[in-house]
Amino acid sequence: RRAAALAGVSGPGATRDGHAVALLANIGGVDDAVAAGAQDVEGVGLFRTEFLYLSATALPSVEEQADVYRKVLEPFGSRRVVVRTLDAGADKPLAFANLGEEENPALGRRGLRLCQAKPELIDSQLAALALAARDTGADVRVMAPMVATAEEAAWFASRVAAAGLPKSGVMIEVPAAALRSRHVLAEVDFGSLGTNDLAQYTMAADRMEGELSDLLDPWQPAVLDVVAAACAGGSETGRPVGVCGESAGDPFLALVLAGLGVSSLSMAPKKVAAVRFALSLHSLEECRALADTARAARSAADAREAVRAAASPEL
Ligand code: PEP
Ligand code: MG
């Protein structure tokens, strides 16, 4: 019966009362793009671009990069594709732009910090994306990983504008950026919550450490409070805030996130149908009440349990 109900809902994501929540795919390469492009998704909310650079011995030319980007963009036609610029660091080192070993790679010169140290990396990537966007007519939006401050967001936005790309955004995955989102988002067009890193940095728990999975749980009320802070800055500045961490693919948590004010959810394509179904069963007001319920809980387990109990019994 549930499978039939799931199959009965298709198209753009929306709550029962018609509040839009875009359902997007996370992809990491050309094969993913071809597969996701054929699915019922509204576009891509996170295209991880590391695959193009991590195994290369030299920085690929702009034309080489553009060739790959064209192949990734084509399957989506006029649908949006949010591209995350290079997120390398001491844990994912580049042979051609290595800043050396670090004691704490997660807290080191990764993501946008590495690109600020080596601007040729980001400038060649943005030039290639601008070429691919022009040639495919795709709706490309670029965002930077590991942004902590408004100055960093402004630096990125200026590089994006210089490359001739129309829209810039930031990942909100550092608690500082979430708490100061009003200022960070004012510099760009949109934000996207990376709940994997946001949980890691909020809970001070290494995401590679399986023993710490309870602390890394995105249902941790502290993580939800930080997400709420990010969304408040989004509504103050009129900037849309989405989620592209794994948490977006949990149908119950998706309801909470929608209730907190996120306008898009990006996930593994196979998870989209269940999230679409969950949204279709609840009004925005009900999602807001579920968000309050989750944030009022004293533990991650209590939050999950309380939301399950209060959500529609059809889910
Ligand atoms: C995240 O941090 O939540 C995220 C989406 O990016 P990644 O998992 O690639 O760090
Ligand atoms: Mg991340």
| Nearest partner of 142 among 242, 75, 46, 54, judged by Cα | 46
Cα angle at 178 between 172 and 180, to 5 degrees? 125
With the most atoms of ligand 1 within 8 angstroms of its CB, the residue from 46, 54, 197 to mutate is 197
Tokens of 58: 């030299």
CA dihedral 72, 15, 260, 6 (to 10 degrees): -60
Cα angle at 136 between 135 and 139, to 5 degrees? 120
Helix (H, G, I), strand (E, B) or coil at 213: coil
Cα angle at 261 between 196 and 26, to 5 degrees? 40
For the Cβ of 46 lying below 6 angstroms from any atom of ligand 1, the answer is yes
Known catalytic residues are 244
- pLDDT digits 0-9 by tens, 27-44: 999 999 999 999 999 999
**d(CA 197, ligand 2 centre) in Å:** 5
**What is the full per-residue pLDDT of the chain (315 aa) written as tens digits?**
677 677 678 999 999 999 999 999 999 999 999 999 999 999 999 999 999 999 999 999 999 999 999 999 999 999 999 999 999 988 888 999 888 899 999 999 999 999 999 999 999 999 999 999 999 999 999 999 999 999 999 999 999 999 999 999 999 999 999 999 999 999 999 999 999 999 999 999 999 999 999 999 999 999 999 999 999 999 999 999 999 999 999 999 999 999 999 999 999 999 999 999 999 999 999 999 999 999 999 999 999 999 999 999 999
| Nearest partner of 188 among 172, 162, 170, judged by Cα | 170
For the Cβ of 89 lying below 6 angstroms from any atom of ligand 1, the answer is no
**CB-CB contact of 127 with 62 (8 Å):** yes
For the Cβ of 244 lying below 6 angstroms from any atom of ligand 1, the answer is yes
CA dihedral 103, 149, 88, 90 (to 10 degrees): -10
- With a CB cutoff of 8 Å and minimum separation 6, the contacts of 109 are 89, 90, 99, 102, 117
Cα angle at 35 between 33 and 36, to 5 degrees? 65
For the Cβ of 172 lying below 6 angstroms from any atom of ligand 1, the answer is no
H-state helical runs in 55-118:
62-73, 112-117
**CB-CB contact of 211 with 230 (8 Å):** no
Nearest ligand 1 atom to the CA of 193 is 3
pLDDT of the residue at 74: 98
**CB-CB contact of 75 with 134 (8 Å):** no
**d(CA 144, ligand 2 centre) in Å:** 10
Nearest ligand 1 atom to the CA of 247 is 3
Question: Which value does ipTM take for this structure?
Answer: 0.99
* 173 annotated to bind ligand: yes
pLDDT of the residue at 1: 63
Q: In this structure, which residue's CA is closest to atom 10 in ligand 1?
A: 197
For the Cβ of 191 lying below 6 angstroms from any atom of ligand 1, the answer is no
Number of H helices, E strands in the chain: 15, 8
**CB-CB contact of 191 with 169 (8 Å):** yes
Nearest ligand 1 atom to the CA of 195 is 3
Q: At what angle do helices 150-162 and 119-136 cross, to 10 degrees?
A: 50
